[in-house]
């Protein structure tokens, strides 16, 4: 049930042309102050509550693999929590996604809370779109911390310009992707860039093919709380899955629609 105090995120932000150009050149951009202090405080509480309610990771850190140590990952909270739904389907975010991609309309692929626990491990180099059976390069992930963060908590780090070369390696996020993609990044000589600090309510945005990773969380007390939303251009079609992960995504995040169909299932609402 939506509270009458739930902040509506329908007011729109005009993205500066310089930021749009930077995004398209580098494959990533930081946009500040997307949420105001009262908005981020409200939604932080809602997202934290939902994330811990639906989290299924119960193993000690020492018993997890590299992927499991990187973060608690809780997917598609908008399906199960009405407060989070207002966040994920917000027009404010969707308009930014459309502006960055240069399209009129965007749909949701899925959301995910990424909570990197104290002592949590590094996030290996990877490309998000490795997992997505979509026929468009016009995809973007919003990565928004719900608390103020710095590099020590696990700041997202980008290989600038890597999106222009598209698919890099047929490897899921893992120790293997870290090794292979580090070699690939050195070979391509991509500049490595990241913010030193981000405030709660800021967000980075990156293309689906932009290579990125994050260091571990060296704090002993603070969880890096991040909420992400993935968008893609309306009109995209579903492609034949090229690996088991894309087949899993086709069934889960595209509601099982067959290859060749428009990617417009009930799980992928038009948000702008």
pLDDT value at position 70? Answer: 85
What is the Cα Rg of the chain in Å? 17
Q: In 3D, which of 207, 198, 271, 180 has the Cα closest to residue 26?
A: 207
When pLDDT is cut at 50, 70 and 90, the band that residue 1 belongs to is low
How far the first Cα of the chain sits from its last, in Å, is 23
What's the mean pLDDT when you consider all of the chain?
96
Model confidence band, residue 68 (pLDDT cutoffs 50, 70, 90): confident
Q: Are strands 123-126 and 192-193 parallel, antiparallel or unpaired?
A: unpaired
> 47-67 burial string, b = 16+ CB within 10 Å, else e?
bbebbeebeeeeeeeeeeebb
Tens-digit pLDDT profile for residues 12-28: 999 999 999 999 999 99
Give the largest CA-CA distance in the chain.
54
pLDDT band of residue 187 (cuts 50, 70, 90) is: very high
Give CA–CA dist 88/111, Å, rounded: 7
d(CA 232, CA 245): 18
- pLDDT band for position 59 (cuts 50, 70, 90): very high
pLDDT at 159 over 60: yes
> 127-151 pLDDT, tens per residue?
999 999 999 999 999 999 999 999 9
pTM for this entry: 0.96
- Residues pairing with 224 in the sheet: 116
Per residue in 78-105, pLDDT tens? 999 999 999 999 999 999 999 999 999 9
pLDDT at 71 over 90: no
Residue 221 has, within 13 A of its CA and on its CB side, a CA count of 0
Mean pLDDT calculated for residue range 117-123: 95
- For residue 2, pLDDT beyond 60: no
**Which band of pLDDT confidence, cut at 50, 70 and 90, is reported for residue 61?**
confident
DSSP 30-70: EE--SS-HHHHHHHHHHHHHHHHHH----S-GGGS-HHHHH
d(C-alpha 145, C-alpha 27), whole Å: 19
Q: What is the pLDDT of residues 203-253, one digit of tens each?
A: 999 999 999 999 999 999 999 999 999 999 999 999 999 999 999 999 999
pLDDT band at 4; cut points 50, 70, 90: low
**Tens-digit pLDDT profile for residues 29-48:** 999 999 999 999 999 999 99
Domains of the chain: 33-252 (2.60.120.620)
pLDDT at 3: 60
């Amino acid at each position: 049930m939506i509270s009458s105090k739930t902040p509506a995120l329908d007011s729109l932000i005009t993205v500066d042309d310089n930021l749009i150009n930077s995004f398209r050149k580098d494959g990533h951009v930081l946009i500040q102050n997307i949420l105001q202090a009262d908005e981020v405080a409200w939604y932080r509480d809602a997202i934290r509550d939902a994330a811990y309610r639906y989290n299924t990771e119960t193993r000690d850190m020492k018993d997890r693999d590299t992927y499991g140590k990187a973060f608690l990952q809780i997917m598609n909270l908008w399906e199960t929590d009405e407060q989070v739904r207002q966040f994920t389907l917000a027009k404010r975010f969707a308009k930014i996604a459309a502006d960055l991609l240069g399209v009129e309309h965007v749909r949701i692929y899925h959301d995910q809370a990424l909570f990197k626990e104290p002592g949590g491990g590094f996030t290996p180099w990877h490309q998000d779109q490795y997992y997505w059976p979509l026929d468009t390069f016009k995809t973007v992930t919003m990565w928004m911390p719900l608390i103020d963060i710095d590099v020590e908590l696990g700041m997202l780090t980008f290989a600038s310009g890597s999106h222009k070369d598209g698919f890099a390696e047929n490897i899921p996020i893992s120790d293997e992707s870290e090794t292979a993609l580090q070699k690939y990044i050195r070979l391509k000589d991509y500049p490595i860039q990241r913010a030193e600090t981000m405030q709660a309510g800021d967000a980075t945005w990156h293309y689906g093919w932009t290579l990125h990773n994050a260091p571990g969380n060296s704090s002993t007390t603070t969880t890096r709380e991040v909420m992400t939303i993935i968008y893609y251009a309306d009109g995209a079609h579903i492609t034949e899955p090229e690996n088991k992960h894309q087949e899993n995504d086709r069934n889960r995040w595209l509601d099982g629609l067959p290859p060749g169909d428009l990617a417009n299932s009930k799980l992928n609402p038009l948000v702008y």
